[in-house]
Amino acid sequence: MSQKQWIAGINAVAAAVEHDADNVREVLIEAGAKNPRLAEIESSARRVGIDVRRVATQAIDGVVGNLRHQGVVARYAAARTWSENELKELVDAAAGRALVLLLDGVQDPHNLGACLRSAAAAGATAVVIPKDKSVQVNATVRKTSAGAADSIPVVPVTNLARTMRDLQQMGVWLYGLAGEAESPLYALDLRGNVGLVLGGEGDGLRRLTRENCDQLVRIPMPGEGVESLNVSVAAGVTLFEAVRQRQG
């Protein structure tokens, strides 16, 4: 089986069992492992009708390769996906306090996983990613996200610029992060319906993405010799500035 059909690690598997049990076909746990969290995962999986097998470590290594599995993996029949049509429902349900993270072409699965983890911790409404020229939610993303990939809506979209315009029609203000922007992030009011737009690792925001933002802002960086932050770090900074403001 391909690596993309498996998720590995205690947090990732526990989250999948809790939030997306319908798509988990079986859980493999290292035989003889003493970690009490593995016993909790086994109990939770059996309670919702998921097959659990105790197997040798080599068997787990064989299905996930180099992924660090911590003695547990789960096989997916399909990853849970959210459609573009569900985005309006998610925004409406946020009742004027939607917080959407839009990622324009993130290529590194570790970066996407870290962004999802920050978004889940910040209570974000959804994370929007392009279907093309962007890493999708795979086994590495799920592992890096520590389970967040199964607890927050990730919405792959065909046309990011069109989705941005749709969000604006829903009353969501879109702020793009750009190092050369004049306005600082901390001058914004992030308490209403907000979309935070971040570019990929190499070129940042694409031209069309920039043009569809309501405003470009920058993260102030008084330190010398650093032109930009890693996208996952920038996502954490911007999301939690919104959290700070919303907690008043």
Candidates 248, 243, 231, 245; CA nearest to 109 is 231
CA separation for the pair 84, 153 (Å, rounded): 11
CA atoms within 13 A on the CB side of 115: 36
Q: Is 229 annotated as a binding residue?
A: yes
Q: With both helix axes pointing from N to C terminus, report the angle between 231-246 and 109-121 in degrees, rounded to the nearest 10.
A: 10
Handedness of CA 16, 17, 20, 21 (dihedral sign): positive
Whole-angstrom distance, CA of residue 80 vs CA of residue 12: 14
Q: 174 labelled as ligand-binding?
A: no
How many Å apart are CA 24 and CA 51, to the nearest integer?
A: 9
Q: Residue 202, annotated ligand binder?
A: no
User: Residues 6, 63: contact at Cβ < 8 Å?
Assistant: yes
Q: How many CB atoms lie within 10 A of CB 93?
A: 9
Q: Which amino acids are annotated as binding site for S-adenosyl-L-methionine, given as ranges? A: 199, 219, 229
Q: Which amino acids are annotated as binding site, given as ranges? A: 199, 219, 229
